Amino acid sequence: MRIVVLFDLDGTVLTFDGASPGPGRVAMRRAVRDWVDLEDATSGVRFAGRTDRAIVRAMLTGAGYRGDLDLAVEEGIARYLVLLADEVRRRPYLPVGDVTGAVTRLRARGACVGLGTGNVREGAAIKLASAGLLASFDLERGGYGSDAEDRSELLRVAAARCAQASFAGAEVVVVGDTRLDVEAARAIGAKVVGVAATVSAREELEEARADAIVEACGEALVAAIEAVTSRRS
């Protein structure tokens, strides 16, 4: 199976205990508020499927921030990472199903397993480590919110990094949980397997026409990836 499988993180590989907002969103909100003294800077900003930098930019713009936006985004991300590390100590992330098992089986079948996530790379590492999943992924084989604010662009970066590991020209499968994962995957000509833990996530992925949908990472996911890659498009 000479394919590249790129996993999204939040909602696909990682979940959290308790009610929303999760640790990442809490840290992001605190990072921006703490700095620009905004009241509810996140209202109206959808986090799911977006890249970290794009989220900070949208929060600042939405709150009418008038300073140097690029500089503010960099500063906001730096603060976010410190707060995130602190937040996950109290409330670590959890795997969505048998993530390590799925990755191990995909690699055993010859796939290059990477990440395609809107998280900046350091944030991805903090979240994965808190869920005990850092050793399950090779962070060199990934595209991150620190590589691009646009999701399809970071998937291109991730696929290129896998291509360097002798996977040039291999078919790409994106595993994600939102419409934005599906759209970004289509933009690079990739297949998509959706991970839907909730009814609304499933509806969104069905509407976006994911090639297959499973409930969690595990054997069903590996089977779905095999099915969509053996199918002619």
Distance in angstroms (rounded) separating the CA atoms of residues 1 and 176 = 20
| Residue 93 and residue 15 in contact, taking contact as beta carbons nearer than 8 Å | yes
Shortest CB 71 distance to Mg ion, Å: 28
Q: Using CB under 5 A, which of 1, 7, 11, 105 touches Mg ion?
A: 11
Q: How far is the CB of 70 from Mg ion (least distance, A)?
A: 25
Name the minimum Å distance from CB 176 to Mg ion: 6
* Cis previous bond, 21, omega within 30: yes
Sole window of 7-15, 50-58, 74-82, 89-97 interacting with Mg ion (rule: CB under 5 A): 7-15
Among 8, 52, 122, 211, binds Mg ion (CB under 5 A): 8
Count of residues engaged in binding Mg ion, rule: CB under 5 A? 4
Nearest to 3 by CA among 231, 229, 232, 192: 229
CB 188 within 8 A of CB 155: yes
Please report whether residue 204 would count as binding Mg ion according to CB under 5 A: no
Site residues for Mg ion, 109-148, by CB under 5 A, read none
Binding mask 163-192 for Mg ion (x = CB under 5 A): --------------x---------------
Of 63 and 114, CB closest to Mg ion:
114
**In the complex, minimum distance from the CB of residue 47 to Mg ion, in angstroms, rounded to a whole number:** 9
CB of 195 to Mg ion, least distance (A): 9
- SS3 string, 169-231, reads CCEEEEEECCHHHHHHHHHCCCEEEEECCCHHHHHHHHHCCCCEEECCECHHHHHHHHHHHHC
In the complex with Mg ion, which residue's Cβ is closer, 48 or 165?
48
Select 7 or 167, whichever has its Cβ closest to Mg ion: 7
Is there binding between residue 10 and Mg ion (CB under 5 A)? yes
Give the residues across from 173 on adjacent strands: 5, 191
HSE-CB of 81 using CA atoms within 13 angstroms = 16
Instruction: Tell me the closest approach of the beta carbon of residue 213 to Mg ion, in angstroms.
Output: 14
Torsional sign, CA 4, 226, 223, 187: positive
> Of how many residues is the chain composed?
233
What single DSSP character describes residue 134? G
Q: Is 52 in the site for Mg ion (CB under 5 A)?
A: no
Q: Which residue is nearest to Mg ion (CB)?
A: 11
Where do contacts with Mg ion occur on this chain (CB under 5 A)? 8, 10-11, 177
